[in-house]
């Protein structure tokens, strides 16, 4: 159970059941359970939104749901997305981009990217008709796409938690993550869910390939950007679907 617990403690604010640092091997094995974290998160967010819509208009409920989304995840992936925006668009060499992404301060590109992505998600939530599927698949597939790119692409730095995690991610973890994501997609929306899973993989690879053009590898911030953009893409799909 340690990898499952590590996944929840790493990605959410859920109470810490293991009060010690996880080893790199444990964090690598935890990657396979990221989609399970997404499934639980999606169900919680749907519950928040459902209760909110019983009390408030759709716009207010959507705002409160995004607040819960950010709080439950400690803005973990959003922060990575914002840092990735600063680094990828603010630097002119791979070294400078990595240096910018390491800086904890938020620049103009990061602030603009964060504001725009939250505004897009808000608009999608406020206009979506099938919120149960939207929440479950957005949160689950976003946390499936990141393990796929972690395993598939090289890491940009030679030290740090990200590279240690990548070294311990193998085919078994990818298989577990894919099984969880596939079963969730099928049970949530049948063949359409599986099609969205393929689409999530394509979005993840597109983001990773773009980052690889500007860096010598991926970073934790890029993983966060992959998750955030896949989530947003799924929400947008359910905002336009009939």
Instruction: Judge residue 134's burial from the number of C-beta atoms within 10 Å of its C-beta, 0-12 exposed, 13-18 middle, 19 or more buried.
Output: buried
For 218, phi and psi rounded to 5 degrees? -95, 165
Which pLDDT belongs to residue 241?
Answer: 58
CA 236 to chain centre: 15
In whole angstroms, give the CA distance from residue 57 to residue 66. 14
Q: Which of 115, 217, 207 is nearest to 159 (CA)?
A: 217
Q: What is the CA radius of gyration of the chain?
A: 17
In whole angstroms, give the CA distance from residue 168 to residue 173. 9
User: What are the residue ranges in the chain where pLDDT is below 70?
Assistant: 160-161, 241-242
In whole angstroms, give the CA distance from residue 236 to residue 123. 9
Which pLDDT belongs to residue 242?
Answer: 47
């Amino acid at each position: 159970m340690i990898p499952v617990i590590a996944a929840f403690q790493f990605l959410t604010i859920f109470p810490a059941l293991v009060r010690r640092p996880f080893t790199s091997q444990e964090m690598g094995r935890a990657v396979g359970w990221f989609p399970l974290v997404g499934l639980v998160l999606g169900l919680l967010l749907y519950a928040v939104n459902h209760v909110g819509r019983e009390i408030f208009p759709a716009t207010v409920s959507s705002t409160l749901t995004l607040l819960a989304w950010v709080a439950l995840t400690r803005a973990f992936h959003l922060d990575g997305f914002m840092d990735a925006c600063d680094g990828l668009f603010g630097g002119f060499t791979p070294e400078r981009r990595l240096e910018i992404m390491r800086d904890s301060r938020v620049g103009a590109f990061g602030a603009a990217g964060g504001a725009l992505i939250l505004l897009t998600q808000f608009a999608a939530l406020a206009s979506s008709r099938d919120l149960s599927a939207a929440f479950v698949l957005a949160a689950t597939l976003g946390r499936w796409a990141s393990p796929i790119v972690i395993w598939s692409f090289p890491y940009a730095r030679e030290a740090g938690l990200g590279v240690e995690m990548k070294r311990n991610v193998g085919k078994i973890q990818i298989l577990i993550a894919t099984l969880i994501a596939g079963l969730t997609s099928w049970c949530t929306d049948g063949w359409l869910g599986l099609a969205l899973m393929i689409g999530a993989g394509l979005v993840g690879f597109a983001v990773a390939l773009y980052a690889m053009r500007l860096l010598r590898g991926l970073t934790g911030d890029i993983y966060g950007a992959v998750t955030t953009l896949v989530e947003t893409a799924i929400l947008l799909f359910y905002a336009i679907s009939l």
